[in-house]
A and B are shown apart, each in its own frame.
Chain A
Amino acid sequence: NAGVTQTPKFRILKIGQSMTLQCAQDMNHNYMYWYRQDPGMGLKLIYYSVGAGITDKGEVPNGYNVSRSTTEDFPLRLELAAPSQTSVYFCASSFGFSARDGSTDTQYFGPGTRLTVL
């Protein structure tokens, strides 16, 4: 299994440009997530999905859009890129919780996309 894959690895955008960050997983996970990580900081949840056709906003959704047409893929769209969106973007997936009393839910992360907006 490839796990979670992300493309591209690096990208430089000009202000106002748009792009799509690709994320795919081959573990048949229902849950998928997009995070951003600014230098020296923790991860902030942008959007998440609990299954194909279902998405919801996380902590910092402004300036981004997502779709989930298949279980495997969860692309993140940046419209009108701004310098504040310069960050490392991580996609992750998991099976999700099956019970509240002690079950684990490991998130598996992709290698990340390093995006710079100039």
Chain B
Amino acid sequence: GQSLEQPSEVTAVEGAIVQINCTYQTSGFYGLSWYQQHDGGAPTFLSYNALDGLEETGRFSSFLSRSDSYGYLLLQELQMKDSASYFCAANSGGYQKVTFGTGTKLQVIP
């Protein structure tokens, strides 16, 4: 089966840097996506890695290591509005199949 593991909660201080890790076990792996979801809202896409290495998009960066079945999301210059749940999601299978992790709830404190 497919499974992705993330820490359940992370707390960080405003202005700091936080890293959210994701380890996965999937067959036919294509790539790893990251989504943000605020309480009561819908998930929104943040980034995607198909190849090993770092992808940077503004304050957010995402990293993938295929050999380690591991990825992380790095959030820099944390703002209060970054308080949300963050999900990693693995794309795999012959057709478009996505398996989501259980999510990491990030709390940014002053």
Residues of A within 8 A of B (CB): 31, 33, 35, 41-45, 48, 50, 56, 58-59, 90, 92, 94, 96-97, 100-112
Contact = CB atoms under 8 A, between A and B. Distances in A.
A90 B45 contact: no
A44 B51 contact: no
Interface residues of B, number: 23
B100 A48 contact: no
A105 B42 CA distance: 17
Given A97-B30, A107-B45, A109-B43, A56 B95 contact: yes
Given A45-B98, A50-B95, A106-B48, 15 more contacts: A35-B100, A41-B102, A42-B100, A42-B102, A43-B43, A45-B100, A101-B50, A102-B51, A103-B50, A104-B33, A104-B50, A105-B33, A105-B91, A107-B98, A111-B42
Contacts of A106: 33, 45, 48
Interface of A is mostly: loop
A76 to B, nearest CB: 16
Interface string B72-110: 000000000000000100010001111111110000000
Given A43-B87, A97-B30, A106-B48, A50 B43 contact: no
B96 A94 contact: yes
Contacts of A102: 50-51
Contacts of A101: 50-51
Contacts of A35: 100
Given A31-B96, A42-B103, A96-B96, A110 B42 contact: yes
B98 A33 contact: yes
Nearest to B2: A59
B69 interface: no
Contacts of A108: 45
A90 B97 contact: no
Nearest to A109: B42
